[in-house]
Amino acid sequence: MMEYKLLKSALWGNKTQKMLAFLTIFLASMLVASMLNITLGIGDKVAQELRSYGSNIIVLPKGGALSMEIEGKTFKPLQEDAYLDESKLPKIKEVFWRNNIAAYAPFLEGKIAWSKETTPVAIIGTYFDKNLPIADEPNYRIGVKSLYPFWSVEGAWIEDDTEANILVGETLAKDHHIAIGDTLILADKSLHVKGILKGAQEAESKIMMSMALAQTLLGKPEKISRVEVSALTVPEDDLSMKAKRNPAELDTLEYDHWYCTAYVSSIAYQIEEEYKGATAKALMKVSDGESKVVKKIQSLMGMVSIIALIAASIGIASLMASEIHRRKKEIGLLKALGASNLAIYTLFIAESLSVALIAGTVGALVGYGLSMLIALSIFGHAVEISWIILPLTISFALIIAFVGSLLPMRGVIDLLPAEVLYGRK
């Protein structure tokens, strides 16, 4: 009871010191809570931002290999032409991580004769924004409009399944003076140029058309060359690198962890499981770039949080040293009455922890709001609240108060009641 009265008296005394301690811990807790909340939520947000720049998984026929473009020329490995079945496209959206498949689109490429040159012209058939009914999502849509949102068209996009209109890549249109409204003869078929495709890089030197038209011109009904997939993934780590080398090297626990984590390699593996006759390759250059960006941002926020904790501890230590000096006579009186050093330690630390508990709770709640404002200003929408951060931040606040109080308290041992009560020292 006596200890409670002493603690209550200490908490209500010297309000300036208490307010400064409260503000120190409050600001540190607010910063730590906002940084942690953004750190936990930033992976998905950064991944979503980066996913808008294209695919990170490519699905090819079994045994297929990517072509390479060197100085404007495309080199394909020597192999038999192989194709995927168009009818199996919904399988990509039926994997374990189906909700992380953000967008995908099929492509069929080839070369055909045309009216502008004696040499064949490269064509690409694809989906633009096609309805692809899948289980539980009858209105699901796929195509290049969602896979490559940064592509643009001067004129108008063409409809899926149309066999009368085409898009011409900007480079090809410029080199051959092709304008919107022109008519091109491709394999004895008259086609209307409805738009000029821009920002499509490799496709800018080709003619883009509906999948149905490309299959007709190339004589490949129901066939596609590849599928490009954009998936939301988590940064790669040692486990995913080990699985990338050979999933068979993983033990049962590692395999379950890897399979149930949205690594780009595990999603590609699951696509291979579902899409029979296909091989899915993770574009590691893209995934590595995402991982590096996310890890660097998270490291930066972690460093800011640690610096905030250290600065707050130093501030609390300074305030506690000042408070002990101010209350030397009170400490001397307690010692004269028989109080042990441990009892005095407990009194002062309980006082600091009480302030830290309130400041940490308020700081964490305000930190959530701050993280929302930061996310809105950077990503345009808020991050989810991670409630695990609340007890973590309060724990950090209590640690700040404990560590900050511990060092100044060492001076209590040296205080002699007679000296401080009679002012001899």
Are 178 and 208 spatial neighbours (Cβ–Cβ below 8 Å)?
no
Q: Where are the domains of the chain?
A: 1-49+289-422, 57-285
Per-residue model confidence (pLDDT) at position 196: 93
Residues 106 and 422: their CA atoms lie apart, in Å, by 90
Q: What are phi and psi of 177, to 5 degrees?
A: 50, 50
Annotate 195-204 with b (16+ C-beta within 10 A) or e (fewer): bbbbebeebb
230 SS3 class: strand
Residue 99, number of CB atoms within 10 A of its CB: 10
The mean per-residue pLDDT over the stretch 340-361 comes to 83
Tokens representing 53? 């720049």
- Count Cα atoms within 13 angstroms, Cβ side, for 337: 10
Model confidence pLDDT, tens digit, residues 152-197: 899 999 989 888 999 999 999 999 999 999 999 888 889 999 999 9
Model confidence pLDDT, tens digit, residues 64-94: 555 555 555 555 554 556 899 999 999 999 8
Residue 316 has pLDDT above 60, yes or no: yes
Per-residue model confidence (pLDDT) at position 42: 67
Are 333 and 425 spatial neighbours (Cβ–Cβ below 8 Å)?
no
Q: If you average pLDDT over every residue of the chain, what do you get?
A: 81
Q: How would you class 333 by CB atoms within 10 Å of its CB: exposed for 0-12, middle for 13-18, buried for 19 or more?
A: middle
**Residues belonging to the chain:** 425
The set of residues, in sequence order, having a beta carbon less than 8 Å from that of 314 and lying 6+ positions away, is 404
Quick one: how many helices (H) and strands (E) in the chain? 13, 16
Q: What is the pTM of this model?
A: 0.61
